[in-house]
Chains A and B, each alone.
Chain A
Amino acid sequence: MTLDRRHLLRGGFSLGALTLLTGCDLSDSDAVQRVLAGFSAWNDRVQAALFSGTRLAPTFAEAMAVKDFRYNAWYGAEKAPDLKAAEYRLMLSGLIADKRPWTVEQLYALPQVSQVTRHVCVEGWSMIGKWSGTPLKTFLERVGADTTAKYVGFECADGYYEGMDMPTALHPQTIMAFRLSDEVLPRKYGYPFKIRVPTKLGFKNPKFVTTIYVTNIRPRGFWTDRGYNWFSGI
């Protein structure tokens, strides 16, 4: 057997050409997208089975919390909604007994907990922060939500929308975060509150929440509508 360089080169080129051919347009075909969506639905089921309502996300020393937290959205921070406490009302809808709207003052008077947890972005970066607020479970119980329903959905002042499975909504670390680094949630981070859920990827943590609803129909998600996996647990 001799080393045939010409043979090797020719073979290498045909392999390269093959990769170029398949790489570009395969992803954009409808049939391929349907197969990928099928796998994504299967992954939703696997993740729901893996999720434990009692297993806590790792918590870190307070000194590890980043003070200047990374701003992340599809628009610049200057375009973030500027909600005023005087006009703001949190609306409730769906399978909730007491649908009276909530003012910022009422929300901020709720019992609160703090957590130093890690925000993991779907892009791969992660950052530790300190958030404080009311467990979503406490709030849902207080307004008489049907916690046997399947999902909780959120609508936001910036046009964002998200939702999550009820087991995750009732997880002790899923909170309505009113504070970041011990300060009232600044405008660009989602004033008056964001949903902080350390058992899910960052995009499942909606900011500027204006409506909370309880439903048995799976809520759509802003990024899920753009191809990301729905459950997105971590």
Chain B
Amino acid sequence: MTPSNPSQHVQTHAIAVRITHWLIALSMLVMIGSGWRIYDASPIFGFSFPAWATLGGDVETALAVHNDPGVASAIAWHFAAMWVLFVSYLLYLLWGALSGHFWRDFLPVGPKSFLRDFLAAARFRLEHSLGEYNAVQRVFYWGVLALVALMLLSGIAIWKPVQTYPLEVLFGGFQGARIVHFLGMSLIVAFLMVHVALVILVPRTFVAMVTGHAVEPAPHVQTETVP
């Protein structure tokens, strides 16, 4: 979005973006935590997630009461949060496309500008201007949106391998869909780590995502001029 004052950068977020952002964030965390508990019930790879990092209630209690390590509870969480994620994701896509948010703030983007900004960021030379997304951010946002779509599709393939069998075939079989679902989760977790680290570095972006408005304190200075 264009700053009102050329020397001052402003970040604004529409209420629709803020609500869907936090619903997606919450449901994603629930899906990851419960997904790890479900994964542990029958690990695909040679490792398990520590129980404390997973969602689904106390494992010992569940084993004592139900003879089940809280997998029932984790599945209940997973298949509840999936609706919250699905609906808020669709609403966000709809709003982003119709309001012009996507075309205004996430485009244009190309390999050249991505490479330029990525190299600058790697050398800590990329200035973060509130209210303006650099090419790396734009690629990451498109990427994570695509990843959510991939997670929904591979998730449906695992949930309904009979009713949506062609979808499973697309992922190279039932096991293929499970592996894709796991890899998609890993990439989303990687995105979240970078995303949260950057928010911690530029806390005003957090203020903007909560209140809808944040202003850069001092006049905008290019870091490139600072040694």
Contacts and interface: CB of A to CB of B under 8 A. Distances in A.
Contacts of B96: none
Contacts of B44: 124
Given A11-B200, A74-B67, A36 B42 contact: no
A34 B76 CA distance: 11
A15 B223 CA distance: 29
A27 B57 contact: yes
A50 B163 contact: yes
Nearest to A228: B72
Contacts of A126: 161, 174-175
B85 interface: no
A4 B203 CA distance: 12
Contact of A23 (B53, B80, B83, B158): B53
A39 B72 contact: no
Contacts of B165: 58
Interface in A3-24: 3-4, 7-8, 11-12, 15, 19-20, 23-24
A229 B201 contact: no
A183 interface: no
Given A19-B29, A223-B72, 5 more contacts: A43-B79, A120-B174, A227-B73, A228-B72, A234-B163
A51 B174 contact: no
**Interface SS of B by simple majority:** helix
B202 A1 contact: yes
Interface in A191-210: 198-199
Interface string B67-90: 110111101110110010000000
Interface of B: 29, 33, 38-39, 41-42, 44, 52-58, 61, 66-68, 70-73, 75-77, 79-80, 83, 124, 127-128, 158-163, 165, 174-175, 178, 196-197, 200-202, 223
Given A23-B55, A40-B79, A226-B72, A12 B200 contact: yes
Contacts of A42: 83
Interface of A: 1, 3-4, 7-8, 11-12, 15, 19-20, 23-28, 35-37, 39-40, 42-43, 50-52, 55, 57-58, 74, 118, 120-126, 198-199, 223, 226-229, 233-234
Given A36-B77, A40-B76, A118-B174, A28 B68 contact: no
10 contacts: A8-B201, A12-B197, A24-B58, A27-B55, A27-B70, A123-B71, A227-B72, A227-B73, A234-B159, A234-B162
A234 B161 contact: yes
A67 B161 CA distance: 23
B42 A121 contact: yes
A23 B52 contact: yes
Contacts of A12: 196-197, 200
A159 to B, nearest CB: 12
A35 B30 CA distance: 14
A227 B76 contact: yes
A233 B163 contact: yes
A65 to B, nearest CB: 16
A125 B201 contact: no
A25 B58 contact: yes
A211 to B, nearest CB: 23
Closest 10 CB pairs of A and B: A227-B72, A27-B57, A39-B80, A11-B200, A124-B42, A123-B41, A36-B76, A226-B66, A123-B42, A57-B162
A223 B76 CA distance: 13
A63 to B, nearest CB: 16
